[in-house]
A = this chain, B = another copy of it.
Amino acid sequence: FSKKPLQVFESKFPQLRDDFVQHISKFAPLPVAADRLHKMLDFNCVGGKMTRGVTVMTATQQICHKANIQHDELAEKAIVLGWCIEALQAFFLVADDLMDKSETRRGRPCWYKLPDVGFDAVNDSLLLDSFIYFLLQHYFDGGNNTPASPTLYLQLTNLFQDVSLRTKVGQMLDLMSQPQGRKGPELLKQFTWERYKLIVELKTSYYSFYLPLACALLVTGHNQPQQLQLTKKIALQLGQKFQIQDDYLDCFGDPQHIGKIGTDIYDHKCSWLVVQALMRANPAQLQTLQDNYGKDLGGPCEARIKQLYRELELPALYQQQERQSFDECVASIENVPDDIPKSIFQDLLDKIHDRKK
């Protein structure tokens, strides 16, 4: 490639978007419908960091190189799978922003906040989900009766369905940390480290870390259960590190860097910070947590929680966690057997370690 991976990846999007819009235009031949779809896909699929999508592309390249597999014809398939993951991400973000009543995303208003969108965003989110399975069918299914490679198509659709279900269950657990109309002390008691790890694994790690690597493995024929299992184990380690960073930056990051103002304390989230605070608090500090967590936005309760986090020296604990999780990931990566290139994990670790946004 003479171009950078991100540019190569991005340049494929217009064709995939047009494939989908043209497919729909065959049974719904209305220019207004095509225009709206086009605009909706552009707004929601493009503009992020696209780490997930680019990872499928670069990991596929590295696996092919290591295994001496002809990469040329797999390169396009890897990019399509990368865009399937970006579509999955867009599907979840459109729905998540509406459920979280968020204001901004990627430094712009959320899609549902646009005046001619509103709650119609729910259906747009569902269309983004269908975009995934359209792409899989269009590029991987050779037809119902004589599938070109039925096993790969089946593996991919089952993989996306499985990861999608886990993410939805993770979202459900995340939402149950702050169910509509009831926040409070009895919920706070449930914010254990075990529960935290489970929520993070399901809502973040599977789709953000395991899915891109699993796509690269499957498309290159590395579909042995032990290969996928090992990849899952390291992906979940990386995902946990990533989500702990996300939780820390929500409170202590620079809003200018992260593109939004954190609301985890107000939203009564089961964040790494509150889980650590609960484990370290004395009875008086526990009372402070119960009295102030989830109470106001940008007000004295939120400030009191942040102050408590500093009293408990959570910023220093976070620095320690960052170093320790880095070392643990490095150790796991060192043990990766020869049939999978270590670099597919190392690249992800390098991308996320010590991130400020």
The reply to whether A173 and B33 contact each other, CB–CB distance below 8 Å, is yes
What 1/0 flags go to A156-181 for Cβ under 8 Å of B?
Answer: 01100100111011111101100111
What 1/0 flags go to A8-38 for Cβ under 8 Å of B?
Answer: 0000000000000000100110101100110
Q: Which of A53-61, A130-138, A251-259, A298-306 has 4 or more CB atoms under 8 Å from chain B?
A: A130-138
Instruction: List residues of chain B with CB within 8 A of the CB of A126.
Output: 95, 129, 168, 171
Expressed in whole angstroms, the minimum distance between the Cβ of A24 and any Cβ of chain B is 6
The reply to whether A120 and B134 contact each other, CB–CB distance below 8 Å, is no
Interchain CA distance A99-B32 in the complex, whole Å: 20
Main secondary structure of the interface of A (DSSP, over half): helix
A101 within 8 A of B: yes
Interchain CA distance A154-B141 in the complex, whole Å: 9
Instruction: List residues of chain B with CB within 8 A of the CB of A175.
Output: 120, 123
Instruction: List residues of chain B with CB within 8 A of the CB of A154.
Output: 141, 144, 147, 150, 153-154
- In the complex, which range does the number of interface residues on chain A fall in? 35 or more
The reply to whether B182 and A27 contact each other, CB–CB distance below 8 Å, is no
Instruction: List residues of chain B with CB within 8 A of the CB of A141.
Output: 154, 158
> In A186-232, which residues have CB < 8 Å from any B CB?
190, 195, 198, 202, 223
Interchain CA distance A164-B190 in the complex, whole Å: 37
Interchain CA distance A154-B137 in the complex, whole Å: 10
A67 within 8 A of B: no
- Using A27-B169, A176-B33 as known contacts, say yes or no to A99 and B123 having CB atoms under 8 A apart: yes
> In A100-143, which residues have CB < 8 Å from any B CB?
101, 115-120, 122-127, 129-130, 133-134, 137, 141
Instruction: List residues of chain B with CB within 8 A of the CB of A124.
Output: 172
A50 within 8 A of B: no
What 1/0 flags go to A43-64 for Cβ under 8 Å of B?
Answer: 0000000000000000000000
The reply to whether A161 and B137 contact each other, CB–CB distance below 8 Å, is yes
Kindly identify which residue among B36, B122, B171 contacts A99, using a CB–CB cutoff of 8 Å.
Answer: B122
6 A-B pairs in the complex with CB atoms less than 8 angstroms apart: A33-B169, A116-B181, A127-B168, A127-B172, A137-B158, A144-B155
